[in-house]
Structure 1
């Protein structure tokens, strides 16, 4: 576990070089800002899931949104990094004890602990990334002081699936995830739907390995660590002649990239959450595209509102229409993607936005 309180500054993750402090021992917010003006009496905070803030994916995006907002507001922020799921409750309590006004929880798995903390501290504000915190499934968030930031990534994954099917030369594409939870499987299922649509339109039979829509199950690593298990799962798909690979779960794409390089074959990698070409240039040459979530923008907007006394618990749902989700550019693969296929993907995006195509997901409605 790592807790740090800092004054926000430009430079994003370069700030991780500062010394880490144990929970409850972080330095207090400064009384005045660097320009000598009065400091806003507001402390935004964030707790990661076990992927950590340097996952080059959704934890990192959330952190970048936090630091950008804190910089604009001219305030300190506090972050705490979770090493395991067992850290969640204690990390949240540590942030409460340090006087945080708004606490951002990053990831679906943090939702139960976030609800418990929010219920116990109704005067504090919580922002839940990737979960609606609706444990009784009545369609509403279970605490009035929690704002969900969620993403219907099935829509963008549908486009990626169609693209992958069009790019595949072996007729086999694959996907694997960290855990079989809704925020992971939504990518995999949307991807499979896109491949199905490609087959229907083109009379082809491109196979999807790693996800079974009927069984709602597939290939999973058991967590979000970039470990040997993740590489084994990726290798198992590559051994079945996959030539497009979609890993879903923070840094678990890294062992997948290693398995691709070891294969000596041209296999396209699809990133998730961030534009991985930008966050991890070391795999840039492998990336066909990335399925993006606007986590950084969602967190930034919510913290700015809260810091200005305008916290709004209304859920934000990212879609293709509001640009909360989307596909990243093809970057190094631009010249390899046929213009006709790229145009078709753009047409499908407009059809989804218009409601002419419905992509199934637990957030669709």
Structure 2
């Protein structure tokens, strides 16, 4: 059964995502927040007391507004040093502090029970924009948004839903989402092209949409490679059609990642993609000294972990820039509850460089990955997933 389809229509016609926000720029410009003292020392323009600059442009002073604006973030139990999505989201918060001159605050959660109290603490600190890092904070953010209509909220990796799991909109709640199946498709194709045992594997932290969407795309990429090349590369750990597979049931217990990694290696898998935050570090620890390679997720694991020599590539979510852009949007008074959805087309998701494996990946395989990426961006190839935003 084919698990992806070719659509001979344009991206604008195919992707509902086209109606969503574009990816925010990596480097947010903040020239509007320059004070007259900054501009006067060789700057481009100096504002007088009326807000008019000496070049005639309207430079109404907003530095005070930005300085008074406060963005806040709550982690899930993985914490802000998880080398995964919490860390990436927090990097967006601190980048906004630097680029916009705003105030920030944060709270790390040690368990799900701390989500609500931590969010309430941020509201009590007069935060203007409160962001929950991760799917697990969905209900707590939704409850806080309903209880505090004058505060804006953001949620990474999840939309909002009612008690029957039907999608809903909140006037003051912005989902920050990523269609990672697109980049994971490329990772799956790469893995199938690089395996020497014809077996690769993946597992998740928890069976939630923001995890399973990676696994769906990975599965599709392997199927595409098999169809293109007449091969029979097998995926361990995930059955896309049945939507079930291997899960650590945690995002922070690295021993579970080690256990699952040992199982997959014993079954012959030589490339493993953990979708489980720090749990994947446990997998890396048992892969050392073997011929097993890893594919990391969210951040570039080559740069953020001590296991760079094992990491073939990473499926990137540009969470930091999406968070920073959402903060900038809110701080300048243009908050929108319209979901941001990161895609290959807008740069919100991507496949990381091959780093130490650059010379090992055949040029023919690199060219095929580029070809498929171009097809996805053009809307000619749609990676389908029941977990897609």
Category of TM-score, reference length = shorter chain = 0.7 to 0.9
Moved over 6 A (4+): none
User: Residue 250 of structure 2 aligns to a residue in which SS?
Assistant: coil
- Among residues 160, 165, 190, which one is paired with 2:192 in the alignment? 165
Structure 1 position 82 matched with structure 2 position 106? no
Structure 1 position 273 matched with structure 2 position 298? yes
Match of 1:326 in 2: 350
User: Residue 40 of structure 1 aligns to a residue in which SS?
Assistant: helix
- Among residues 123, 127, 141, which one is paired with 2:154 in the alignment? 127
After TM superposition, give the deviation of residue 364 of structure 1 in Å: 4.8
- Among residues 125, 137, 157, which one is paired with 1:98 in the alignment? 125
Match of 1:351 in 2: 375
Aligned counterparts, 1:101-250, within 5 A: 101-135=128-162, 138-141=166-169, 143-250=170-277
Q: Check whether the contact 2:71–2:127 (CA below 8 A) recurs between aligned residues.
A: yes
Match of 1:12 in 2: none
For residues 52 and 176 of structure 1, the distance between their equivalents in structure 2, rounded to whole angstroms, comes to: 21
Aligned counterparts, 1:252-263, within 5 A: 252-261=279-288
After TM superposition, give the deviation of residue 352 of structure 1 in Å: 1.2
For residues 142 and 241 of structure 2, the distance between their equivalents in structure 1, rounded to whole angstroms, comes to: 32
For residues 215 and 138 of structure 1, the distance between their equivalents in structure 2, rounded to whole angstroms, comes to: 22
For residues 233 and 41 of structure 1, the distance between their equivalents in structure 2, rounded to whole angstroms, comes to: 48
Structure 1 position 289 matched with structure 2 position 316? no
After TM superposition, give the deviation of residue 97 of structure 1 in Å: 1.2
Q: Check whether the contact 1:176–1:234 (CA below 8 A) recurs between aligned residues.
A: no
Unpaired runs of 5+ in structure 2? 1-37, 39-62
Match of 1:300 in 2: 324
Per-residue CA shift, 1:107-136, capped at 9, x if unaligned? Answer: 001001100000000110001100011335
- Among residues 306, 313, 328, which one is paired with 2:337 in the alignment? 313
For residues 195 and 229 of structure 2, the distance between their equivalents in structure 1, rounded to whole angstroms, comes to: 13
Structure 1 position 65 matched with structure 2 position 89? no
Match of 1:7 in 2: none
Q: Check whether the contact 2:209–2:387 (CA below 8 A) recurs between aligned residues.
A: no
Give the number of the structure whose alpha-carbon radius of gyration is greater: 2
Q: Check whether the contact 2:67–2:103 (CA below 8 A) recurs between aligned residues.
A: no
Q: Check whether the contact 2:254–2:280 (CA below 8 A) recurs between aligned residues.
A: no
Q: Check whether the contact 2:295–2:315 (CA below 8 A) recurs between aligned residues.
A: yes
After TM superposition, give the deviation of residue 334 of structure 1 in Å: 0.2
What is the aligned-residue RMSD (CA, Å)? 1.8
TM-score, normalization by structure 2: 0.81
For residues 203 and 362 of structure 1, the distance between their equivalents in structure 2, rounded to whole angstroms, comes to: 27
For residues 386 and 141 of structure 2, the distance between their equivalents in structure 1, rounded to whole angstroms, comes to: 21
Unpaired runs of 5+ in structure 1? 1-34
User: Residue 71 of structure 1 aligns to a residue in which SS?
Assistant: helix
Structure 1 position 55 matched with structure 2 position 82? yes
After TM superposition, give the deviation of residue 140 of structure 1 in Å: 4.1
Match of 1:6 in 2: none
Compare relative contact order (CA 8 Å, sep 6+) and give the higher one, 1 or 2: 2
User: Residue 236 of structure 1 aligns to a residue in which SS?
Assistant: helix
For residues 76 and 352 of structure 1, the distance between their equivalents in structure 2, rounded to whole angstroms, comes to: 39
After TM superposition, give the deviation of residue 137 of structure 1 in Å: 5.1
Match of 1:41 in 2: 68
User: Residue 381 of structure 2 aligns to a residue in which SS?
Assistant: coil
For residues 227 and 244 of structure 1, the distance between their equivalents in structure 2, rounded to whole angstroms, comes to: 18
